[in-house]
Amino acid sequence: MTASTLSAISTAADQDQLGAAAGAGGRRSRKWVRHLPVHVVMAALGLVWVYPLLWALTSSFKTKMDMFGDGPSVLIRSMPQFQNYLDAWTQANFGRYFFNSVVITVLTVVFTVVFTAMAGYALARTHFPGRKVIMVVVAITMFLPRGYTLIPVFDLVYQLYLLNTIWAVVVVQVAGGMIFSTFLFMGYFMSANKELEEAARVDGAGFNRTFLYVMLPTARPMIATVGLFSFISSWNDFIIPLVFTLGRPDLRTIPVGVAALTGGSAGTDWPVLCAASVMALLPIVIVFVVAQRHIIDAFAGAVKG
């Protein structure tokens, strides 16, 4: 699963690669028209697919009355209620959850990238005894259900005096994504340019220098991939922050905090909850728009590898 195989995936679909094979010949300009019924179906299905998100977005600007009044309409009848966002941020404590989520996600991404790049490089470049054993054990554990280990990990975290701290969430999240990311880095470094490394060694660079100044800079696409995976899974995670901050509502992350709001009484302010949900989803949407191709390639590459 090298970067080169990944980059071909999404681009080729848009290209005219199969155009010649399809035998369209000279009638290419009419293809779009021929595709029109398919486009209508796809657009309709696409709209259905984003409808819940659009609904949350429009509802977040409605008044409480409006939301009950016109049902699942996409239209906003009264003035857009920006107040919902303000209320979510302050009264519903979203600001606090946002801060926790940012801190936990940043720490998780940084530690994941640093530790897995190091481990991946070490596994790819040396043949110390036990290397194979480590990899086999680790590969087997990768396919066990996540929830399986939650109970002993909870006890372990408790005994390490980490329970109900941000570090508990970070360390468990880093450990959770570690194996997969290490394999990604190992795969990259195994196929990486060995001549460059050889040259560095001839120039007298040691293991650390070679890694830090020569190999790591070439691994930038893989750093981005691992970073994105780690960002998405940490930002979206529910069960780990839920379990390890059970006793500290002030340490809740966005998914835990917002989900807990819905468990409350009937008096829950829906438009405010919609505003909170929109704010919770927004960072992912922004990252997705910015790095769309890379994210899709990363996911596609993970299964192809």
Partner 1 sequence: MTSTTVPGRATRRNASHDRRRVSSHGWKVRWSYIYLLPFMILVALFTIYPIIASIGYSFIKWDGLTAPDGFVGLQNFVQIATDHFFWLSVAHSLWYAAFVVPIQLFIALILALILNRPKFKFTSIYRSLFFLPAVMSPAILAVVFRLLISALGVDWLGDPDVVMWVIIVIGIWQTLGYNLVYFLAGLQTIPYELYEAAEVDGAGWLGRLRHITLPGLKNISVVILLMAILGSLNVFDLVMVLTGGGPYFASSVTNTYIYQLAFGNFYSGAGASSNVEQNVGLASAGSVFYGIMLLGLTLIQFVALARIRKKTAEQNQGAIG
Q: Interaction with partner 1 in 267-296: which residues (CB under 8 A)?
A: 270, 273-274, 277, 280-281, 284-285, 288, 292-293, 295-296
Q: How far is the CB of 192 from partner 1 (least distance, A)?
A: 15
CB 72 within 8 A of CB 52: no
Q: Cβ closer to partner 1: 83 or 299?
A: 299
Query: Of 191, 177, 171, whose CA–CA distance to 116 is shortest?
Result: 177
User: Does position 186 bind partner 1 by CB under 8 A?
Assistant: no
Q: How far is the CB of 79 from partner 1 (least distance, A)?
A: 20
Distances, alpha carbon 238 to alpha carbons 35, 103, 235, 242, in Å? 41, 15, 9, 6
Contact window for partner 1 (CB under 8 A) among 78-86, 92-100, 190-198, 259-267: 259-267
Site string for partner 1, 60-99 (x = CB under 8 A): -------xx--xx---------------------------
CA dist 222 and 227 (Å) reads 8
Site for partner 1 in 26-45 (CB under 8 A): 28, 31-32, 35, 38-39, 42-43, 45
Query: To the nearest 10°, the Cα dihedral for 135, 139, 140, 143?
Result: 170
Classify residue 264 as exposed, middle or buried by CB count within 10 Å of its CB (0-12, 13-18, 19+): exposed
Site for partner 1 in 120-179 (CB under 8 A): 121-123, 125-126, 128, 134, 137-138, 141, 143-156, 171-172, 174-176, 178-179
User: Does position 10 bind partner 1 by CB under 8 A?
Assistant: yes
User: Does position 223 bind partner 1 by CB under 8 A?
Assistant: no
Q: Cβ closer to partner 1: 68 or 82?
A: 68
Q: How far is the CB of 126 from partner 1 (least distance, A)?
A: 4
Q: How far is the CB of 222 from partner 1 (least distance, A)?
A: 16
CA dist 57 and 282 (Å) reads 10
Q: Cβ closer to partner 1: 56 or 83?
A: 56
Distances, alpha carbon 89 to alpha carbons 95, 187, 241, 267, in Å? 5, 43, 20, 18
Q: Cβ closer to partner 1: 52 or 80?
A: 52
Helix (H) or strand (E) holding 72: none
- Among positions 40, 44, 53, 79, the unique one binding partner 1 when judged by CB under 8 A: 53
User: Does position 243 bind partner 1 by CB under 8 A?
Assistant: yes
Q: What is the distance of C-alpha 254 from the center of its chain? A: 15
User: Does position 19 bind partner 1 by CB under 8 A?
Assistant: yes
Q: Identify the sign of the CA torsion 13, 222, 5, 301.
A: negative
Burial 173-193 (b: 16+ CB within 10 A, else e): bbebbbbbbbbbbbbbbeebe
Q: How far is the CB of 54 from partner 1 (least distance, A)?
A: 10
